[in-house]
Amino acid sequence: MPTCKLTKRIIDTLPTPARRDEIWWDEDLKGLGLKITPAGRKVFLVQYRHAGDRRNPRKYTIGEYGQTTPHQARIEAQRVLAERAVGRDPQAEKQTAKRRIASEQVSDLAAEFIARHVSQNRTAAETARILHREVLPYWGSWTIGEVRKRDVIALLDRARERGSPIMANRALAAVRKFFNWCIGRGLLEISPCSGVAMPAREQARHRMLTDEELAEILQAARKIGFPFDSIIEALVMTGQRRDEVGRMAWADLNLDRQVWIIPESMPKTVSHTLYT
């Protein structure tokens, strides 16, 4: 095992191995080492033996040389060795923390949110699209605890600045549902969306189709064929909601009287005359 005093002057002169990684161990602090790869990468580490596993030494990665100075590496190695001395296992704790952080990443939780909650809703495809387009490119690698109110506002500002104020509203609605879901699962205490107002005012759009437009719709629907032609024709003739027409059953129809009775389980229970 090659040893040297791990100072900047000496580290800069250490040779690059030809085939396999090589570790130079510090002469002053037992356990502190510098791994050098054939690609020339130099990484500080500290090695120790844990009481529960004497045969397999732990190697705790401290950081890459250049980003981490020899002095910083020495201090971190001393901390790790001090924790080991009181019976702790810093490497195992580090791995546990990594797994915990990974499980709380926005991208992972958003995927679970879509699969468990959003998929049950009629707007599933749109909500998933908004999260993948507006949210995950910016927050995907973050943990949910890192997202702050200012980050939500910045997300909405991006949509507004590109000329999509209504999309900003939809994005807020989607992330608000997501964080509320996280709260319900005990992953958060407070939503970063709390107190954030809708970024744009929306006005209800009222549009009535002309007879000519309705005729064109019916003609196009009849070219599509069953079952959509029948559904569209029923929508046009009754003026009812898509879901109500889609759930229409033969038991709800009185063909002799030309009446459709919407069951009480559906909203806005009322009878409608069917036109023939």
Cα–Cα distance for residue pair 76/71, rounded to 1 Å: 9
Q: Where are the alpha helices (DSSP H) in the chain?
A: 8-11, 70-85, 90-103, 106-116, 124-130, 136-139, 149-161, 165-184, 211-224, 228-238, 242-246
Residue 269 pLDDT > 50: no
Distance between terminal CA atoms of the chain?
93
Contacts of 25 (CB under 8 A, 6+ apart): 1, 2, 3, 4, 32, 33
Higher pLDDT, 51 or 220: 220
How do residues 187-215 score in pLDDT, each as one tens digit? Answer: 888 999 999 998 887 666 666 777 788 88
- Token pair of 10, please? 């000496």
Question: Chain-centre distance of CA 3, in angstroms?
Answer: 46
Average of pLDDT values for 74-79? Answer: 94
Write down the pLDDT at residue 245: 78
Q: What phi and psi values does residue 79 have, to the nearest 5 degrees? A: -65, -45
How do residues 226-242 score in pLDDT, each as one tens digit? Answer: 777 788 887 877 777 77
**Are the beta carbons of 152 and 174 closer than 8 angstroms?**
no
Write down the pLDDT at residue 100: 59
Cα–Cα distance for residue pair 50/80, rounded to 1 Å: 12
Write down the pLDDT at residue 266: 60
* pLDDT classification of 24: cutoffs 50, 70, 90: very high
* pLDDT classification of 276: cutoffs 50, 70, 90: very low
Q: Which residue has the tokens 């709380």?
A: 104
How do residues 128-176 score in pLDDT, each as one tens digit? Answer: 999 999 999 999 989 888 899 999 999 999 999 999 889 999 999 999 9
Average of pLDDT values for 20-39? Answer: 95
Question: For the chain, what percent of residues have pLDDT higher than 90?
Answer: 44
> Measuring CA to CA, how many Å separate 65 from each of 36, 50, 60, 118, 176?
10, 26, 15, 45, 42
What domains are defined for the chain?
3-101 (3.30.160.390), 106-184 (1.10.150.130), 211-273 (no CATH)
Three-class secondary structure assignment of 21-66: CEEEEECCCCCEEEEECCCCCEEEEEEEEECCEEEEEEEEEEEEEC
Of 73, 57, 81, nearest to 11 by C-alpha is 73
